[in-house]
Structures are given as C-alpha cells and as structure tokens.
C-alpha cells in the first residue's frame, strides 16, 4: 500500500487508541472514527484496557496491521505482535525495542539510534523515527525505516504501549547508492577527460593516461601498448620495478585465448579475474608480484584500433562490472588523446625544413603553428610571436654576394635557436625574416627573450659579413580568442617589426608599444 495511506492508517489508529479516556470506563468514539475501510475493520467503542486487549486478541486485525508494516508492543503486559517486515527478516515475536533491537543494528548506525531509544524508553520523548541497517536472521544486513510512537504511559510517564511501523527501504538505499556511484563515476570521467589531451607530446600523453586512469579505476600496475602489424609494443608503464625493461616488452598478436586479443577484436573492455587459471600463458615478469586480475581497455579512435591499455591487480577477482563500465566510457577519450599526440608526432616528422638553415619553413608553420595556436586557444594559454629581420641584408648580399649572405643566415639561425626553448616553433619565414612562436609565454617574458636575441646577434662576429650585423624584432603576445587566427597574430608581430624598422632598426618593439 502507498506510504501516504500507511501514514493515514497509523494516524487514525493512534487517534482512536488515544481517544479512550483513562478516567471513564465506557466511551463512544466519534462517528466512524474507528473504521478502517482500507483493511475492512472497525474498532468498537471500549475503554483503554479493553481496546488493548481487543487489539492483541483479534488475530485478524493483527494480521491486517502486520501486513501493512505496523507493530504494537504492550510493555506493561509483556505482549507484542510484529510487522510483516520484521517477520521477513526471520524474526517472530522477539522484543523489538531496547537493547535487543540495538544489538541488531549495524555498528555504523548505532550511535544516533541508541541515544534516542534510551530517551524514548525513559519517557522523555513521544516518538522516534530513523533509518538504519538491521541484521537479518541469516546474518545479512538490510535497511529499515522505523517509526515508534508512545500510545499510553504509566503514571510515572514511562511508555506502556508503543505503536510502530517498519518499512524495508533496502531497494531505495541501493538505488541511492548506485545513483551516488554513477554521479561519482561521471565526475571522475569529466575530470579525466578534461585533463587528457592537454599535451601534444606522445610520452606526456601516455603518462597522463596512466595517471588519470588510476583516478577512475584502481590498479597496481599498468601498461599502454601500441598495436603494430603482428604485435603489441609497450610504450608506457606504471608500477613496475624496472620501467626501462617493461618498455622493451612486445607481445604477439593475435593469440588464441589471449584476453588482449579478445579485447582488441571485440573492441570492448575485457576482464580476466583469475589470470593464472584462465590464461596460464599470461606473461608474468620475473621479480614482480604475480598479476592475478587483468582489465584490458581497447584504444579506438575514428574506428581505428590504436592499441590497448592493460590494468593489472595482484588481487584475484579484483575488477567488477563497474570498473568495466567506467573503462568503456573513458577508453575512447584516451584513444583520442593518443591519436592527437601521434598526429602531432607524425606532423613533426613530416614537416619540411629549410634546406639552408635546417629549421622549419612555412609548411611546418601551417602544420605545427596551427596546432600550437589551437592548443593555446582551447586551454586559454598565452602565445608570443616574434618576427625578426636582419637589417640591411640586401646591401650585404649586393656587396658580398649570396654565398656570404647564406653564411650570415645560417649563423643567425644558430644564435636565435640557442636563445629559444626546444619546444618553441622556430622557422625561416622568408628571405632574411625569421618567426618564432613561444607557447605559454607572456609579453614581458617574450620581450626579454627577443632582447637577448638582438644583443647576441649584435655582438656576434659573422665570418663573411665584413661588418656588424644587426636585427630588428617585432613581438606580439596574447591569448587566442574565438575569431583570432594564426595569420592575425603573425600580422601583428610583423607590424611591430615594421615599427622597429621605422624607429631606427636594431631594436625590439612590441605590438602595444
């Protein structure tokens, strides 16, 4: 029966039993006050003692109340009838109050309940309600929502008759727990996917995948494996005694009965909770604790299998369907992060270099510069663009020839490269112009680096120049916003360079100067 009907019945029963006065032996109830149409029962007019006796002697009424979850205890008379909920726990007419009940309550829930029960039995409160776990007769635990209400008291105020209601809320609590777990899973996945892909470097991406996966799915050891034609190559690991040796591991693919092969071919996470029994050929590394449970997550991006992430546990039966569910949700995000890193690596390898200076050209600018620009826009990071131009370079070419000019360009490249970081993008933009893109670098820092370059060129003794060479540099620093473009930043740096030329050359000018 619906909860609101149960509450109405309980309230009506309390009202009826309390209406019986202690001083008057006979008393008529208000019309229809004792009628329980929901269970087909009517309480006749009677005094308090008769009402209690009728309640305990009428087995039909007891059965109806018990079926609705109600119970009554006559503490003075030592009588009780339990609710159907209490019977379902495996108990009969055992006392359902005081220490006997407290002994059945879960240790984690006793704290608040024991104190309030003491207050109720002492008569210092009229009712008690609570939700707690109770031990069944078979030793398992279930959640109950219980209400106790004192109907009658003795002269000294202690309870004589108590009406109560039990409701099994184990299903509700289980649903609440599952909802909390799902919310926690979603929040963990949100954090993991937010942090994945922040790096374009392959090794940093692999390390990030290993680190963030552990926040979502516990493991003792883990590897990220790249799928080659006929094998899986470990490219990253965590938790192993000798990581350098682990990186050299290579596993054949496909292999019949292998959980790795099953995960890759099914394109779904696979759990093996008894590795020694289910796949005795599993590779156990000497000196390491044996792996007893395994969870394989296929890394699939744009419908292409990139490889596998293997999570290992030294505990048998460790991985659960919940772990498998989380793995399925995060696997695609990990694969996309890896694909992005691979794309970046391939683009780096494919990028054309300037044949004279050995640095990138405009082709590499379009590829790598575009990636750097989008990465900065996505993560709201500052970029600094430097456009540098050798002063009076045409006169040098005209006077000493192009061979001497090429030597000056090569030496200038070496000087500028020495003042930049290895991950900064440095290209020959055209002729005697150079462009550097410095990631995560603000205007002040960018201006300092540009000034160091200018001074180094100024002080350098160029072999074939015959005179001092100077350089003018334009600097533009900003966080790329929606609507901004790579070419827009280059143009801003170029305009700053033009101002440096106009104001006498051999100087650094910012776009805001």
List residues with catalytic annotation. Answer: 432
Which residue, among 447, 360, 369, 459, has the nearest Cα to 411 in the 3D structure? 459
d(CA 415, CA 436): 13
List the beta strands (DSSP E) in 100-239: 127-135, 141-153, 159-168, 221-227, 231-238
Is the Cβ–Cβ distance between 510 and 472 less than 8 Å? no
d(CA 170, CA 85): 12
d(CA 133, CA 149): 20
In sequence order, the β-bridge partners of residue 252 are 231
3-state secondary structure of 286: coil
- Compute the chain's Rg from CA coordinates: 40
Task: Output phi, psi for 78, to 5 deg.
Answer: 70, 25
Tell how far CA 205 is from the center of its chain: 17
End-to-end Cα distance, the chain? 79
Is the Cβ–Cβ distance between 225 and 263 less than 8 Å? no
Which residue, among 210, 214, 136, has the nearest Cα to 170 in the 3D structure? 136
Is the Cβ–Cβ distance between 480 and 373 less than 8 Å? yes
d(CA 222, CA 218): 10
Query: Kind and range of the H or E element at 272?
Result: strand 270-272
d(CA 469, CA 396): 9
In sequence order, the β-bridge partners of residue 163 are 72, 149
- Bond into 254 cis (ω within 30): yes
Query: Kind and range of the H or E element at 439?
Result: strand 433-439
CB-facing half-sphere around the CA of 374: CA atoms within 13 A: 12
Is the Cβ–Cβ distance between 86 and 62 less than 8 Å? no
Query: Kind and range of the H or E element at 250?
Result: strand 250-252
Helices and strands counted in the chain (H then E): 18, 18
Which residue, among 359, 458, 351, has the nearest Cα to 414 in the 3D structure? 359
Which residue, among 235, 216, 214, has the nearest Cα to 226 in the 3D structure? 235
């Amino acid at each position: 029966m619906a909860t609101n009907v149960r509450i109405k019945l309980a309230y009506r029963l309390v009202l009826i039993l309390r209406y019986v006065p202690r001083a008057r032996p006979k008393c008529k109830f208000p019309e229809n006050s004792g009628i329980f149409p929901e269970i087909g029962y009517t309480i006749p007019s009677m005094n308090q003692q008769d009402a209690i006796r009728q309640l305990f002697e009428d087995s039909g009424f007891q059965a109806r109340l018990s079926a609705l979850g109600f119970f009554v205890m006559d503490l003075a008379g030592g009588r009780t009838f339990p609710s159907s909920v209490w019977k379902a726990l495996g108990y009969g007419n055992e006392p359902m109050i005081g220490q006997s009940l407290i002994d059945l309550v879960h240790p984690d829930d006793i704290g608040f309940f024991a104190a309030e029960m003491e207050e109720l039995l002492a008569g210092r409160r009229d009712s008690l309600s609570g939700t707690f776990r109770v031990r069944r007769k078979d030793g398992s635990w279930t959640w109950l929502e219980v209400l106790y209400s004192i109907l009658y008291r003795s002269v000294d105020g202690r309870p004589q008759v108590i009406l109560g209601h039990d409701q099994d809320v184990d299903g509700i609590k289980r649903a609440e727990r599952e909802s909390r777990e799902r919310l926690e899973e979603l929040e963990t996945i949100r954090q993991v996917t937010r942090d994945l892909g922040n790096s374009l470097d392959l090794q940093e991406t692999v390390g990030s995948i290993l680190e963030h996966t552990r926040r979502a799915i516990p493991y003792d050891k883990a590897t990220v494996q790249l799928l080659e034609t006929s094998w899986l190559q470990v490219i990253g690991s965590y938790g192993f005694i000798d990581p350098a040796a682990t990186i050299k591991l290579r596993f054949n693919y496909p292999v019949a009965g292998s959980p790795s092969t099953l995960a890759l071919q099914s394109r779904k996470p696979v759990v093996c909770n008894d590795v020694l029994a289910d796949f005795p050929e599993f590779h156990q590394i000497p000196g390491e604790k044996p792996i007893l449970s395994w969870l394989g997550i296929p890394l699939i991006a744009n419908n292409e299998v990139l490889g596998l992430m293997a999570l290992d546990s030294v505990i048998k039966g460790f991985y659960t369907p919940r772990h498998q569910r989380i793995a399925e949700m995060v696997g695609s995000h990990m694969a996309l992060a890896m694909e992005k890193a691979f794309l970046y690596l391939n683009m780096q390898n494919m990028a054309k270099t300037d044949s004279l200076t050995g640095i990138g050209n405009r082709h590499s600018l379009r590829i790598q510069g575009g990636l750097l620009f989008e990465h900065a826009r996505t993560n709201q990071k500052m970029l600094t663009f430097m456009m540098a131009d050798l002063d009076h370079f045409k006169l040098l070419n005209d006077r000493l020839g192009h061979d001497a000019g090429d030597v000056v360009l090569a030496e200038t490249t070496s000087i500028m490269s020495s003042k930049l970081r290895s991950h900064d993008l440095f290209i020959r933009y055209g002729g005697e112009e150079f462009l550097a893109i410095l990631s995560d670098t603000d205007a002040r820092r960018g201006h300092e680096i540009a000034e160091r370059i200018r001074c180094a060129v100024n002080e350098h003794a160029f072999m074939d120049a015959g005179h001092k060479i100077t350089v003018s540099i334009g600097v533009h620093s900003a966080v790329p916003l929606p609507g901004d473009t790579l070419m827009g930043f280059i143009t801003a740096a170029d305009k700053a360079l033009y101002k440096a030329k106009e104001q006498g050359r051999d100087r650094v000018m910012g776009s805001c100067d």
